[in-house]
Structure 1
Amino acid sequence: MIWALTIALGALVGVSLGLTGGGGAIFAVPLLVYGLGFDSRQAATMSLVTVGITSLIGLLQKAAQRQLEFKVGLLFAIAGALGSPIGVMLAAQLHETLRLALFAGLMLVIAFQMWRRASTVQLELPLAWHRTPTEQRAVTCQRDPEGILRITSPCALLLGAVGIGAGILSGMFGVGGGFIIVPALVLFSGMAMRRAVGTSLLVITIVSLTTLLLQTLDGVEIPLITTSLFSAGSIAGLLLGSGLSHLLAGPRLQKVFATMILLVVIFIITKTVLT
């Protein structure tokens, strides 16, 4: 039955989110397009509902564990909210085939980023704490001895620019942008990886819901029953994936998911060329 398929496909998205901690939502649009038959723009809107809800649940968990920096996340979220209308406008102007081709290119970037991250040892302490004073002076965003980020004008502009980029991608493709936000928080703000993941969930939640509002105001219809079933499956999958992540987490798992993304890209390109 179609409702069972919808829940199962949503669960695949949730499991990938729970296992990888970011980037898993990229599977939502292909599953909605090729698994359930929606066009890419409608699938992007439905994906935003799923991404927003699952990110909110993850955010509440991270907030309880105090694994987020609210001020930095809010700065990113405001910038993302400014960028999302641009993405929505661009999506409305793109042909279906071109939109899917660009989405496939985005997936390639994500696959490469996930593979590279899996091949690199991640530091659990903020990177800025490991820099020498000379290196600190050359960094746009710096932290005080207590580890609190000094949000100066250059730092705010840098983080805001990255946030706008994530918002544009969210508006165009229905992705949360966590694959951009997490590395940016670590590299540019010197944030610890665990805090970066938690902070990114705050950004993804706000940007996804803002973009969703813009999409609906732009006339994109949301099939409520299908979206609800897909989101419910994703939430269940998220809880399952989070539990399995303690058993399966590691660089090899990241590379497996990068390979899966690459296979989806090949499938999208093949379908686009054949049609």
Structure 2
Amino acid sequence: MDTATLLIVACGLLVGASLGLTGGGGSIFAVPLLLYGLSVPVGTAMGLSLATVGLTAGFGALLRLRHGEVEWPAGLIFAVAGMLTAPLGTTLGRHLPAALLLSTFALLMAYIGARMWRGRGAEDDAPPSRCVARGPGAFGPECYLRLGSGGAAAGLLSGLFGVGGGFIIVPVLLFVTGMSIHRAVATSLLVIFLISVSGVIAHMLHGQLFPMPLSLLFIGGGFAGMLLGSTLRSRVHGNTLQRLFAAAMWLVALWMLVRNLLLP
């Protein structure tokens, strides 16, 4: 295996591991790694990032189903709303300058990271979800509104920035439903997969092509990383995981701002 191949697989491994560990970090790392690590053009990087994160998240969601960690009702409502808005985000993204798009992405990551850092420490023994307070699967109108709004926002950002949307899905699930960080991560993987399907289809309808074998190697690395991240996740404390997620956002946001604003 040559150096270039190892680099592609290693980048995919990092994306998968962070996605398995945090439920959203993969989408944060995928675009910068493709752009700056593998020198993939912006348009291609957005589409390939979305495909890789989506497939890897789907693989991770299957792994979590065995442990009953996925909140299906909340996840499906969130995902359906996101699938409707992801194509709109894809269309908007193709009409914006690359530097503006990436800088906005970085600022959004910094903001969400700050919210995550200040957020409550969610543990596995947290009280039942506020959105199922009336009984299993019994949602009130307010929950439909909040989950639908959060899903629509995640879908729009997913299509716009070429990410799975996990960096907004996890915080919204935490703040809206009250589920623990580990259950939010597991549910996020299901949502990311479904929203990404919609976004990838929109990219393909716009004529997006996925370079081979780079795409297969990157996705393969992502699958291996998901297994690694899922294994490590069970050994990480909930508060630590939440703040690790936030710190990763800040570091990558700073890097992207420096590259786009100070190093044209």
Q: 1:26 aligns with which of 13, 21, 28?
A: 28
The one of 152, 160, 163 equivalent to 2:151 is 163
Give how far 1:253 is off: 5.7
Shift of 1:125: 4.6
Residue 66 of structure 1: aligned partner:
68
| Residue in structure 2 matched with residue 143 of structure 1 by the alignment | 133
Give a deviation string over 1:143-179, Cα, whole Å, max 9, x none: 22xx424224443222111110000010011222223
CA RMSD of aligned residues (A): 2.3
After superposition, the C-alpha distances for 1:49-106 in whole angstroms (9 at most, x for unaligned) are: 1111111111112212222232322211110011102211110110111111111112
- 1:203 maps to a residue whose letter is V
Which residue number corresponds to residue 91 of structure 2? 89
Structure 2: runs of 5+ lacking an equivalent: none
Whether contact under 8 Å (2:54, 2:192) holds in the other structure is yes
Change (3 A) 1:199 1:240: closer
The 3-state SS of whatever aligns with 1:224 is coil
Residue identity (%): 43
**Counterpart for residue 134 of structure 1:** none
CA contact 2:124–2:238 (8 Å) conserved in 1: no
Q: Is 1:242 paired with 2:244?
A: no
* Count of matched residue positions in the alignment of Structure 1 and Structure 2: 261
Distance 2:252 2:123 in 1: 30
The CA deviation string for residues 208-237 of structure 1, in whole angstroms up to 9 with x for no partner, is 111011111111221131111111111112
TM-score (norm 2): 0.88
- Higher radius of gyration, 1 or 2: 1
Preserved contact between residue 125 and residue 191 of structure 1 (Cα < 8 Å): no
Match of 2:252 among 261, 264, 267: 264
1:81-230 map, 5 Å:
81-117=83-119, 120-125=120-125, 127=127, 141=131, 143-144=133-134, 147-230=135-218
Report the alpha carbon displacement of residue 200 of structure 1 after superposing the two structures with TM: 2.0
Q: Provide Cα deviations, 1:3-62, integer angstroms capped at 9, x if missing partner.
A: 211111111112222333433321100000011112223211111111111111111122
**Shift in alpha-carbon separation, 1:245–1:185, aligned structure 2, 3 A:** closer
